[in-house]
Amino acid sequence: MAEVNQELLRMSETLRVLEDEGQITRLISSYGPAVDSGQSEVAAAIWTEDGVYDTNAKVMRGRAEIAGMVEGSLHQQLIAGGVAHVLGVPHIRINGHRAVATCYSRVFRRGEGGFEVWRVAANRWELVRTEEGWRAAYRTTRLLDGSADARELLGRFGED
Amino acid sequence: MAEVNQELLRMSETLRVLEDEGQITRLISSYGPAVDSGQSEVAAAIWTEDGVYDTNAKVMRGRAEIAGMVEGSLHQQLIAGGVAHVLGVPHIRINGHRAVATCYSRVFRRGEGGFEVWRVAANRWELVRTEEGWRAAYRTTRLLDGSADARELLGRFGED
Amino acid sequence: MAEVNQELLRMSETLRVLEDEGQITRLISSYGPAVDSGQSEVAAAIWTEDGVYDTNAKVMRGRAEIAGMVEGSLHQQLIAGGVAHVLGVPHIRINGHRAVATCYSRVFRRGEGGFEVWRVAANRWELVRTEEGWRAAYRTTRLLDGSADARELLGRFGED
């Protein structure tokens, strides 16, 4: 009986990690569908209430600012013209109630002559486990334009 | 003993969902390799016998029509020139013996001056659990060209 | 008790496969961040000591040659200009202590007029379970330029 309990405990812990990874993948993969369909509140709820979205263009603090970006004229013009915010396979590291996910993002846009690759960026998601499930506390996105900060961000994929 | 059984049951259910998600990801990630290598029967078997593949260009009903598309001259020309049908990370929702997976697809083509992004689309896979495993009952693909139906499709990612 | 043990065994085996798939996905998704941040040793350690990276351009044998490619002038120029080596969702088949993962890779580069799709390729990872975890024994990458070997590689996604 003691052996069974020990094995159950080990399995339960392994299962918890796999569940966490699945939930984090689901969270990150919801970003594109949320913003490309203009669901600003759904997109903002990927973050914690005071979560931060730190991009080359600006730093958005809290859900209201993130929702405001989705509702803004730049983003609405992108949607009207045809846009896909594609987040790639996340490299996930879980450490208790915190996690880091590193992935690439690409924004494809419908242009005059067809589809084009508008932006390619490195992403670091710092996530926390909340009562509502995993949420982003801080997401940093940096264009892969040769600048040092994007390379440094990618280089930290193995760190918590 | 009752407690152990209860924990076993909970773990077994969680494990079932994770297995389902893994099988659905495997199914969807087999589409590109199947069609880009011209294996029409393998590609068609991703769907149920009477499964539907609903695209901007046409609606294919049943495995024979889907296999016919892969064997057709347009697709064969794509393969001969160099093509990649890349399906992105699926956002999966499982509801018993049914599931919905939402993801982006991109078709890259080798052109005169190098590789180009030929198509970028939103995908909704409506899947069913069969005796052979998960299969697509209905897949809808819509180009992200600014039209309303692609946005609506993406906006339903959180619905069963 | 016998029934509980049997169910535990079944669950334990299922869990092992899911853990393996998660570890293989993590390994493959670390390739981009490792090479795009110039961490040559980290990238090389994705392979076994005598692992092979077989590309259109050359065949690299062993970790030293793979690290040398990352440290080489061509790759360093790519990093300096802005580059993303994006590996897609892997289709994974596990067979005991061996596994095969098939996926697409794309290299996006920052050019004069913005980002461009530089390379699109088919990848077959032949992996082995080692004491350090899963490692690549042989990775084959072939450009999807219409040549037969890329199509053949993709066509083998369902084989061990």
The predicted complex's ipTM stands at 0.96
What is the reported pLDDT for A4? Answer: 78
- Interchain contact B42–C (C-beta under 8 A): yes
Radius of gyration of chain A (CA): 18
**What residues of A are in contact with residue B144 (Cβ under 8 Å)?**
36, 82-84, 108, 110, 115
| Spans of chain C below 70 pLDDT | 1
Give kind and range of the element (H or E) at residue A154. helix A148-155
Class of residue C12 by CB neighbours under 10 A (exposed 0-12, middle 13-18, buried 19+): middle
Q: Do A154 and C36 touch (CB under 8 A)?
A: yes
- Which tokens hold the place of B66? 């889907």
Can you point out the beta strands (E) in chain B? Answer: 47-54, 59-61, 83-87, 91-95, 98-111, 114-130, 133-143
Torsion from C-alpha of C124, B99, B18, A52, nearest 10 degrees: 90
The values of phi and psi at residue A152, to 5°, are: -65, -40
Question: Chain-centre distance of CA C91, in angstroms?
Answer: 11
Gap from A65 CA to chain B (nearest CA, Å): 21
Chain B contact for A24 (CB, 8 A cutoff): no
Q: Report CB contact under 8 Å: A155, C33.
A: yes
Confidence at B6, pLDDT banded by 50, 70, 90: confident
What is the maximum span of chain B, computed from C-alpha positions, in angstroms?
69
pTM reported for the whole predicted model: 0.97
Touching chains, C (3+ CB pairs < 8 A): A, B
- Please report, as a single letter, which amino acid is at residue A24: I
Reading the block at residue A113, the tokens are: 């002559």
- C-alpha distance from B97 to closest chain A C-alpha (Å): 19
Residue whose C-alpha is closest to residue B160's, from B95, B103, B91, B104: B95
Which residues on A lie below 8 Å from C36 (Cβ)? Answer: 122, 144, 151, 154
Q: Which chains touch B (3 or more CB pairs under 8 A)?
A: A, C
What are the beta bridge partners of residue B30?
A: none
CB A109 within 8 A of CB A82: yes
| B105 close contact with C: CB closer than 8 A | no
Residue in chain C closest to B8 (alpha carbons) equals: C8
Across the interface, whether the CB atoms of A33 and B4 are under 8 A apart is answered no
Backbone angles phi, psi at B110, to 5 degrees: -80, 115
User: How many residues belong to chain C?
Assistant: 160
B131 three-class SS: coil
Is A37 in Cβ contact with B152 (below 8 Å)? Answer: yes
Chain C residues within an 8 Å CB radius of A102? 33
Whether the CB of A34 is below 8 Å from some CB of chain B: the reply is yes
E strands within A7-132?
47-54, 59-61, 83-87, 91-95, 98-111, 114-130
Closest residue in C to A108 (Cα) is C115
A19 touches chain B (CB under 8 A): yes
pLDDT in tens, C75-85: 999 999 999 99
CA C14/CA C26 separation, integer angstroms: 19
Looking at residue B2, its pLDDT comes to 78
Nearest CA in chain C to A121: C84
CA distance A33 to chain C (A): 18
Asked whether the beta carbons of residue C146 and residue B82 sit closer than 8 angstroms, the reply is yes
Q: In chain C, which residues have their Cβ closer than 8 Å to the Cβ of A150?
A: 82
What per-residue confidence (pLDDT) applies to B8? 87
Which three-class secondary structure state does DSSP give residue C71?
helix
B146 touches chain A (CB under 8 A): yes
Q: Say if C22 is an interface residue toward chain B (CB within 8 Å).
A: no
Q: What is the pLDDT of residue A160?
A: 74
CB atoms within 10 A of CB C132: 8
Residues of chain B found within 8 Å of residue A125, distances taken between Cβ atoms: none
Please name which of B46, B17, B19 lies closest in space to residue B32, comparing C-alpha atoms.
B46
Q: What is the pLDDT of residue B1?
A: 66
| Strand positions, DSSP E, B58-113 | 59-61, 83-87, 91-95, 98-111
Residue with tokens 């082995």: C128
Separation CA B137–CA B21 (nearest Å): 16
- Residue B160 confidence (pLDDT) above 80: no
* Cα of A135 to nearest chain C Cα, Å: 20
Residue of chain C whose alpha carbon sits nearest to that of B28: C91
pLDDT (tens, 9 = 90+) of chain A, 160 residues, equals: 677 788 888 999 999 999 999 999 999 999 999 999 999 999 999 999 999 999 999 999 999 999 999 999 999 999 999 999 999 999 999 999 999 999 999 999 999 889 999 999 999 999 999 999 999 999 999 999 999 999 999 999 988 7
| B21 inside 8 A of chain A by CB | yes
> CA torsion A60→A87→A134→A142, rounded to 10°?
-40
What pLDDT does residue C1 have? 66
pLDDT for C52:
98
Q: How far apart are CA C158 and CA B41, in angstroms?
A: 13
Q: Does B4 have pLDDT greater than 90? A: no
Q: Which residues contact A113 (CB under 8 A, 6 or more apart)?
A: none
Residues facing A120 on adjacent strands: A106
Burial of A95 (0-12, 13-18, 19+ CB in 10 A): exposed
The token pair at C3 is 């029934």
In 3-state terms, chain B is what percent helix, strand and coil (to 5)? 40, 40, 20
